[in-house]
Amino acid sequence: MNNIFSDKATLVLRKMLSDRGRKWVTRDFTGENGVSIGMAQGVLETMATRGYIERVKRGPESYSILTNTRELIDDWLAAYRFEINKIDTYYSHDKNILSRLKEILKDKQYALTLHSGANLTTSFVVTDEVHMYFEPEDWEGNILELRQQLDLKELVRGGNIHIIRPHYKTSVFCGARTIRGYKVVSDLQLYLDLHGFKPRGREHAEFLKQVLEDKGKSLYEH
């Protein structure tokens, strides 16, 4: 497979990274919220060629196991840029905008990312910027409703509320969780988004990695 870092293909990568010591079979990646058997096979073949996994062939008991997490994530970082997402930016003067977002969107598909998401774990960057993936049923209608509820202004340039139409439409919410009542993308997605982001994205990404390591949740190691 040419691009294992495309949206649907990363469902395989994300699943393997979520349980790194597991012995995986191809059908583990298929079914509801998964990929086709052909895509799963193609992704695993490419991962094996690149040395990210080892494939043990034992007939019906064959399996794949992740063996090179560091190179996999480093290559993913090299292939990914947060800027591939489409972003609508607005302005709010409300200092409690995050709390209001949490209440209004509690039943919606959203997840914080970049500094606003990582700060819930690290408290590393002081900022009033909010970056949020959003996947409404009706983009135009739901965005208009959200703007009215939060009194979000559209400026000629600038703003502090960034609503993101995800490039990874299928996979960006994989591993999302709730932290302090807020929905946040996975630590892996936070790291990917932060790493090439300015200002202070890479610095925050490395700090997040250190915080996770201190808690025994390393991004890179088993």
186-69-26-188 Cα dihedral, nearest 10 degrees: 10
Q: Structural domain boundaries of the chain?
A: 10-68, 82-214
Q: What is the pLDDT along the chain (222 residues), one digit of tens a residue?
A: 789 999 999 999 999 999 999 999 999 999 988 999 999 999 999 999 999 999 998 888 899 999 999 999 999 999 999 999 999 999 999 999 999 999 999 899 999 999 999 999 999 999 999 999 999 888 889 999 999 999 999 988 889 999 999 999 999 999 999 999 999 999 999 999 999 999 999 999 999 999 999 999 888 875
Task: Identify which of 11, 190, 21, 221 has the alpha carbon closest to the alpha carbon of residue 117.
Answer: 190
Looking at the structure, give the CATH architecture of the domain made up of residues 82-214: 2-Layer Sandwich (3.30)
Residues in a beta bridge with 88:
163
Helix (H) or strand (E) holding 110: strand 110-113
Q: Reply yes or no on domain 10-68 having CATH 3.40.50.2300.
A: no
64 C-beta neighbours (distance < 10 Å), count: 25
Determine which helix (DSSP H) or strand (DSSP E) holds 122, and give its type and residue range. Answer: helix 114-122
